[in-house]
């Protein structure tokens, strides 16, 4: 069973920058003064500590109801995810350590939503696979806190596919397992190195994803497979597993983008919580597409989400990656006589 989680497609635009010089670059990227950075760090640490207390306490009633057989597993997961979102959202309001801007898409041409083969009522969201870049350990909490603003009220909750070793953190373990998030096993090779997945966990992964769609959830995947220490240079190598899962489940892929969180909590352990900025941007691209190939998906993700991750703004004409126009133009260019080979 091959889920193509390894990077077998083009990675033009992905970063391969060595992390050895990252601390020096961070010093030059200081956006706020030392005093403001200090108090921002205190606020962030207070937020994390508060989450460590609030999550177990607020999830306890749901856990007890489920253990007593008074609610189903599906109900437990929906309630737990809503509880996690509530805690993340309100604690971020009480402790506003980051200036988070949600960039909403208000002028989307419905004609762009092609290749969906979706005959459902437009008010009923189609089950989808969401993909996002990964720049900080804060990513999941910001996504939980801003999900309602980002994707609106009429949405399907998202179950995230995560690295099982994250369960070593007891608070993360409680939230992820109570919400029914889906673990995948892989070796801890460190940032910037190829992921080594345990393929024996793929069968359970597929079964869990199928059940999640049936239970009213969408699926969230991080195609980079690891934290990106240099988002300003583009993405880490992108894996096409999301495309494979979308094809097998016959679901469209939708995208989200994060920018600036690494300036609060950096992936490089030599930097960690050395705060250099507090401006964060987050966006969602609600146009779903059934990509024709893993290579098309990788190129679209690199261009659309990679650009947003680097700049905090949308790639000009980003919609053209979701109606297939830019991919067709790229293929046409590559087939032209004398064109350089961009597949490697």
Q: What is the pLDDT of residues 26-81, one digit of tens each?
A: 555 677 899 999 999 999 999 999 999 999 999 999 999 999 999 999 999 999 99
In the chain, what percentage of residues exceed pLDDT 70?
A: 80
Six-digit token pair at 139? 């990513």
Query: How far is it, in rounded angstroms, from Cα 152 to Cα 214?
Result: 21
Q: What is the pLDDT of residues 214-236, one digit of tens each?
A: 999 999 999 998 899 999 999 99
What does pLDDT average to over the chain?
85
- Residue 55 has φ and ψ, to the nearest 5°, of -60, -55
How does 83-118 read in b/e, with b if 16+ C-beta sit within 10 Å?
bbbebbbebbeebebbebebbeeeeeeeeebeebeb
Banded pLDDT at 286 (limits 50, 70, 90): confident
Banded pLDDT at 105 (limits 50, 70, 90): confident
Banded pLDDT at 210 (limits 50, 70, 90): very high
Residue 272 has pLDDT above 60, yes or no: yes
Q: What is the pLDDT of residues 233-256, one digit of tens each?
A: 999 999 998 999 999 999 999 999
Query: How far is it, in rounded angstroms, from Cα 13 to Cα 343?
Result: 11
pLDDT value at position 12?
Answer: 41
Cβ burial of 227 (10 Å; 0-12, 13-18, 19+) is: buried
Query: How far is it, in rounded angstroms, from Cα 315 to Cα 303?
Result: 7
DSSP string, 175-232: HHHHTT-EEE-B----TTS---B-GGGHHHHHHHHHHHHHTT-EEEE-TT-S--S-GG
CA-based angle 160:161:167, to the nearest 5?
Answer: 95
Banded pLDDT at 196 (limits 50, 70, 90): low
Q: Is the Cβ–Cβ distance between 175 and 194 less than 8 Å?
A: no
Residue 284 has pLDDT above 80, yes or no: yes
Six-digit token pair at 318? 């980003």
Helix/strand/coil percent split, the chain, to 5: 45, 15, 40
- Residue 194 has φ and ψ, to the nearest 5°, of -60, 140
pTM: 0.86
Q: What is the pLDDT of residues 125-167, one digit of tens each?
A: 899 999 999 999 999 999 999 999 999 888 999 999 998 888 8
Banded pLDDT at 263 (limits 50, 70, 90): very high
DSSP string, 287-343: EEE--SSHHHHHHHHHHHHHHHHHHSSPPTTGGGGTTTHHHHHHHHHHHSTT-----
Residue 99 has pLDDT above 50, yes or no: yes
């Amino acid at each position: 069973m091959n889920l193509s989680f390894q990077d077998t497609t083009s990675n033009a635009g992905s970063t391969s920058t060595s992390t050895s010089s990252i601390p020096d670059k961070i010093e030059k990227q200081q956006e706020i003064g030392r005093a403001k950075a200090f108090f921002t760090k205190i606020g962030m640490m207070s937020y994390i500590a508060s989450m460590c207390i609030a999550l177990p306490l607020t999830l306890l009633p749901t856990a007890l109801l489920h253990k007593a057989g008074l609610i189903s597993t599906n109900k437990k997961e929906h309630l737990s995810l809503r509880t996690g979102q509530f805690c993340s959202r309100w604690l971020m309001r009480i402790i506003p350590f980051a200036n988070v801007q949600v960039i909403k898409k208000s002028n989307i041409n419905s004609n762009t939503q092609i290749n969906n083969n979706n005959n459902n009522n437009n008010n009923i969201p189609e089950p989808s696979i969401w993909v996002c870049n990964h720049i900080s350990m804060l990513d999941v909490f910001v996504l939980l806190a801003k999900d309602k603003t980002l994707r609106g009220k009429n949405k399907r909750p998202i179950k995230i596919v995560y690295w099982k070793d994250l369960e070593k953190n007891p608070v993360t373990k409680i939230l992820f397992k109570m919400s029914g998030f889906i673990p995948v096993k892989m070796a801890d090779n460190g940032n910037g190195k190829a992921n080594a997945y345990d393929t024996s966990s793929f069968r359970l992964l597929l079964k869990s994803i199928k059940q999640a769609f049936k239970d009213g959830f969408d699926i969230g995947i991080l195609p980079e497979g690891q934290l990106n220490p240099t988002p300003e240079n583009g993405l880490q190598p992108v894996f096409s597993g999301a495309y494979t899962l979308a094809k097998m489940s016959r679901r469209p892929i939708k995208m989200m983008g994060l920018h600036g969180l690494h300036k609060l909590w950096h992936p490089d352990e030599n930097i960690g919580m050395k705060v250099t900025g507090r401006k964060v941007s987050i966006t969602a691209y609600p146009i779903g597409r059934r990509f024709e190939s893993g290579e098309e998906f990788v190129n679209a993700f690199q261009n659309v989400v990679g650009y947003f991750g680097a700049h905090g703004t949308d790639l000009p004409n980003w919609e053209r990656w979701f109606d297939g126009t830019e991919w067709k133009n790229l293929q046409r260019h590559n087939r032209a006589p004398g064109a350089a080979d961009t597949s490697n």
